[in-house]
Structure 1
Amino acid sequence: MELIERLKYIISDTVKAMDLLDTGYATVVSAAPLTLKIQATQLIVTEPVAVLTDNLKYRDINIQGEKIVLNPGVKPGDKVLVLKANAGQNYIVMSKV
C-alpha cells in the first residue's frame, strides 16, 4: 500500500473513531430545564448539553388581546430526533417524531 493511501486510511479511521456527528432518538423527560433520555444509551442529558433548535421552542403572540400559540414547543413524553455533536458533548434537538 502506498504511503498516501495508508495515510488516508488512518485519517478515515481516526475520524470515525472520534464519533463527532451522529443522529439518534430521544424522549423528552422535562421541558424546563430541557432534559432528554437518549434512546440508544439510556443516557440522561440536560441543558446546556441538550439544546432546542428555534423551530421547536414555544412561541405565542397576542392578537387583539387574544393569546395565540404558534408553536407549543416540547413536552414530557415527546419523541425527538437529536443530532449528537462533539462526540456526545452536545445534543441538538432537530424535530419531533
Structure 2
Amino acid sequence: MELIERLQSIIIDTTRALDLLDTGYATVISASPLTLCIEATRLNVTEPVAVMTDNVRYKAVTVQGETVVINKGLKPGDKVLYLKADSGQSYIVISKV
C-alpha cells in the first residue's frame, strides 16, 4: 500500500471513530428524569446526557381563563428522533415520531 493510500485510510478510520454527529430513534422510558432507550444499541441514557429541545417540552397557555395545551410533552413509550453529539456525550431529542 502506498503512503497516500495509507494516509487516506487512516483519515477515514479516524473520522469514523470520532463519531461526532449522528441521528437515530429512541423510546422514552421515563419523562422525569428524561431516560431514553437508544434503538440501535439498546443503551439507556438519562439526563443530563439526554436533553429535550423546546419542540418536545410540555407547553400550555391560558386563554380567557382556560388552559390550552399546545404540546403534551413526552411520556413513556413515545418514539423520538434524537441527535447524538460529542461522540455520544449528549443525546438531544429533536421531535416525536
TM-score range, shorter chain: 0.7 to 0.9
Asked if 1:42 is matched to 2:42, the reply is: yes
Task: Flag structure 2 segments of 5+ consecutive residues without an equivalent.
Answer: none
Q: What is the CA–CA distance in structure 2 between the aligned matches of 1:71 and 1:11, rounded to whole Å?
A: 44
**Alpha-carbon shift at residue 84 of structure 1 (Å):** 1.0
Q: What is the CA–CA distance in structure 2 between the aligned matches of 1:65 and 1:31, rounded to whole Å?
A: 28
**1:26 alignment partner in structure 2:** 26
- Divergent runs of 4+, >4 A: 1-9
Task: Flag structure 1 segments of 5+ consecutive residues without an equivalent.
Answer: none
**Alpha-carbon shift at residue 24 of structure 1 (Å):** 1.1
**1:84 alignment partner in structure 2:** 84
Q: What is the CA–CA distance in structure 1 between the aligned matches of 2:71 and 2:2, rounded to whole Å?
A: 56
**2:68 alignment partner in structure 1:** 68
Write the deviation string for residues 20-57 of structure 1: whole angstroms up to 9, x where unpaired: 11111100011111110111111111111001111111
TM-score, length-normalised on structure 1? 0.88
Identity %: 69
User: What RMSD over aligned residues (CA atoms) do the two structures have, in Å?
Assistant: 1.7
Aligned ranges for residues 54-65 of structure 1 at < 5 Å?
Answer: 54-65=54-65
What amino acid sits opposite 1:31 in the alignment? A
TM-score, length-normalised on structure 2? 0.88
